[in-house]
Amino acid sequence: MELNQLTIKECHKGLVSKDFSSEELTKACFKEIKKQDKKIRAFLSLNEDGALTQAKEVDKKIKNGGKIGILEGVPAAIKDNILIKGLNCTAGSKILENYIATYDATVIKKLKSAGAVILGKTNMDEFAMGSSTENSAYGATKNPHNLKKVPGGSSGGSAAAVAATMCVYALGSDTGGSIRQPASLCGVCGFKPSYGTVSRYGLIAMASSLDQIGPFAKNVSDLKCVFEAISGADEKDATSIQKRGVRLPKVESPTPKSFKGLKIGVPKEYFIEGMEESVKKKVEEAIAKMKKAGAEIIDVSLLDPSYGLAVYYTIMPAEVSANLARFDGIRYGYSVVQPPHSPPIPTESSKQGEIEGAKNLLDVYKKSRTEGFGKETIRRIMLGTYVLSAGYYDAYYKQAQKVRALIRDDFRRVFEKVNYLVTPTSPSVAWALGAKFEDPLTMYLSDIYTVTANVAGLAGVSIPCGESRGLPVGLQIMGNQHDDYGVLGVAELCEKII
C-alpha cells in the first residue's frame, strides 16, 4: 500500500513507530496529485512549500522524542471557501480570483494547533452553490471512479481528493448536503455536524443559518478524529452552541457499541418514486443487515422531503443575497476599477476617470458583480432578493421559516420514538458531466434527502453501502441535534457489517 492510501490512524501509527516520516507521507500525496489531478481537477491551488515545512517540523519533533497527536504530520486538503492566512481563497469564483486570506478560519487554527499538514485548496461550486462542482469558475472536477461523471457538490473537490487518495482527509462545508452528497457519489465518508458544533468563523458565508464545516475521510473512525479536533466553542462565532449555553457531549460520552437495543427509523417518504431502483436496493440491503445485527427497524413518517427542499430553496437564496452583497468591487475582490480606486471612481457630477460602461458608483457595483459572479450565483442572488422584497417577504420567506419550524418539530417527534434515522444519501449515483447543468431544477432535486438535516440543524453522515453500475451508493444516518458522536458511532457499526 502506498503511503497516500493510509488512513489517519495508520499514518499516526507509522509516524510514531518511525516506519516513515511526515515528509515522505506528504511527498507521496503530492506525487499522487501530480499524477492524477490534471484529469480530476480536485485542487485549485497547492501549498507545497508550506506543507513540506510543516511536515519537517513534525519529523523534528518525533526525532527529538516528542509525542505527537493523532492528526500531527498527516496531510489534509481544504475546501477553497475556508480561509488560510497567506493563501489564495477563491470560493470557486472569479470575483475572488486574486484574494489572499488575511487570517485563519477557526477550524484551520485548530488543525494547525493539532499539527496537520495542509496540502492545498480544493475546487468547489462557486460560493458553494451547486450539486456537481460544475459551477466553479475554474472548471469542473471529475469523479475519480469515472472521469465522465460528476463528483457531486459543492465540496466535490474535497470528496474527489479523498477518493483518489491525493490526501488522507479533507474539510468541506455543507449547506444543503454539500459534504454528504459528494461523499456518496465519490464513495467516501462525509460528516455534517449539528449546526453550531463547529465554528463558521473564517468560512466564506453562503447561507449563515444552514452552513456547517465538516470532514471527509476514508472511514468513519477518521471522521471522528477530525471532528474532535475542529469542534467546540468559539467566541468569534455567535452561533457556536456552547456560547449559547448548550454543552456538547464529551468525547468520552457513551456511543452505541452494538445494534442491540437500537431503534432505527426508516422514513417511508425518503423512498419515493423517481429514485434509482438499484440505489434503493442497496440501501434496503444495508437496513436488512442492521436488523440482522440486532437493531429494531421501525417504519416512521416524516413530512415529505419536498417541503424541506422548498424551504431550503427559499431561505438559502435569501441569505445568499444578503451575504454576497459585500462583494461590490470596492472593498476587495474583482473590480472593473483596476487597480482598486485608480483611476478615481466616477461620480454623478464628474466624468473624470470614467470607466467604459460605468458612469457612476452604482455602475461600478453592477459591472463588477456582473463580470465577477457566475450564472448560478446571479440566479440565487436574484431569487433571494425577490423573496425578501416588499410584498413578497411574508408570502415566501416568512412562510418558509414557519415550515422550517414544523420540520424541526417533526424530527423531534420522530426522535422520541427512534434513536437514529437511515435514508439514502442521494436518489441516484453520479450522473454524466453536463447532464443536469442546464436544468437547475433537476440539479436541485439531487439534494432532496440531505437538505432537511440542514433545515433542522441535525447531524448527518454518509458512508458507502455498495455500488450500482460501477458507481458508489451512499447510506445516510441522521441523529438528533447534538448527538454527533452517536451518529458517528452508528456509522462505525454500519461500516463493519455492510
CB-side neighbour CA atoms (13 Å) of 436: 23
Residue type, 220: V
Whether residue 117 contacts residue 4, with contact meaning beta carbons closer than 8 Å, is answered with no
Whether 242 and 276 have beta carbons less than 8 Å apart is answered as: no
Is 178 tagged catalytic?
yes
Nearest alpha-carbon partner for 289 in 95, 120, 64, 497: 497
Question: Could you tell me which of 94, 161, 96, 156 has the C-alpha nearest to residue 128?
Answer: 156
What are 192's strand-pairing partners?
460
Choose, from 22, 93, 131, 154, the residue flagged as catalytic. 154
Cell of 490: 452508528
Q: Evaluate the CA torsion angle 156, 162, 163, 165 in order and state its sign.
A: positive
SS3 content of the chain, % helix, strand, coil (to 5): 40, 15, 45
Query: Residue 267, preceding bond cis, omega within 30 degrees?
Result: no
Rounded CA separation 185/150 (Å)? 8
Residue 264 amino acid letter: I
79 annotated active-site: yes
SS3 assignment, position 273: strand
Terminal CA-CA length for the chain: 23
- State the catalytic residue, choosing from 93, 178, 199, 368: 178
Distance CA 383, CA 374 (A): 14
Question: Which residue among the candidates 27, 79, 110, 121 is catalytic per the annotation?
Answer: 79
Element (H, E) at 497: helix 484-497
Q: Which residues are catalytic?
A: 79, 154, 178
